Amino acid sequence: MKTIAIISQKGGAGKTTLAINLAGAAEADGLSAVIIDLDPQASAKIWHKLRNKESPIVICTVPKLLSEAIATARQHEAGLCIIDTAPHSETAALEAAKAADLVLIPCRTSMIDLQAVSTTVDIVNLAGRPHAMFLINCVRPGDRTLPDEAAAALQRHKIPVCPLRLTLRSDCVHALSAGQSITEFAPDGAAAQEIRELLKMSIHQDEKMNSHQVEREKATA
């Protein structure tokens, strides 16, 4: 079972939306998924109650019981476990990072978001995770300048920046309101395609990140 923790100490980074959509994309691809919701607001659980489906399963718990929730997901033969964390909760973020195979750090392109990411980086470093990557999220359609500048700023933290950027699209908002993932709501849309690509990168992050690193080195040689 692959375990992905989505961590950001700043609110509004899009953690829950990412967790839901990655789980939905996994289910659509035949990979059983479980979301572990560590956020006291339980947004993922609220979304799940809107659905007419049991899957993906959402487990609400607290950081000290995270290992038990992961064990439950494994017992139910989940192929993917996604841990959704709360902002401003160092304990939850640290426990999630320690338990994960991959830590995704979503970040918007604003100066405030880029400055706030340092706390999250400290937590990931404290957890000693060998695999983590930034994800530039909620990019305005057609904007390349701000995402490029954000990627350059994030590189100083010595954590890879995912070459894929997620665009801010209204379909994602409508999907959540309907109790659906983006791959259910608009399976042929651009947002769904981005999430599918992110899922592939997240599950096979070693090969993907190394491949893109080689391409960057060739481009700058």
Which SS3 state, helix, strand or coil, does residue 135 take? Answer: strand
Residue 137, C-beta contacts closer than 8 angstroms, at least 6 positions apart:
13, 14, 18, 106, 107, 108, 165, 166
Q: Is the pLDDT of residue 126 over 90?
A: yes
Q: Distance between CA 221 and CA 208 in Å, rounded?
A: 20
Q: Which tens digits make up the pLDDT trace of 25-62?
A: 999 999 999 999 999 999 999 999 999 899 999 999 99
Q: Top-level CATH class of 2-220? A: alpha beta
The residue extents of the domains of the chain are 2-220
Q: Are 194 and 164 in contact (CB under 8 A)?
A: yes
Q: Is the pLDDT of residue 190 over 80?
A: yes
- Residue whose tokens read 């809107």: 50
- pLDDT band for position 220 (50/70/90)? very low
- Tell me the average pLDDT of the chain: 90
Residue 65, C-beta contacts closer than 8 angstroms, at least 6 positions apart:
none
More confident: 22 or 213:
22
Q: HSE of 64 in the Cβ direction (CA atoms, 13 Å)? A: 0
- pLDDT band for position 205 (50/70/90)? low
* Cα angle value 87/115/150 (rounded, 5°): 105
Q: Is the pLDDT of residue 129 over 90?
A: no
pLDDT (average), residues 146-160: 95
Q: Which tens digits make up the pLDDT trace of 56-113?
A: 999 999 999 999 999 999 998 999 999 999 988 899 999 999 999 999 999 999 999 9
* Cα angle value 59/64/65 (rounded, 5°): 35
- pLDDT band for position 217 (50/70/90)? very low
- pLDDT band for position 6 (50/70/90)? very high
Residue 152, C-beta contacts closer than 8 angstroms, at least 6 positions apart:
none
Q: Distance between CA 128 and CA 133 in Å, rounded?
A: 13
Q: Are 172 and 191 in contact (CB under 8 A)?
A: yes
Q: Distance between CA 180 and CA 84 in Å, rounded?
A: 17
Q: Distance between CA 65 and CA 46 in Å, rounded?
A: 20
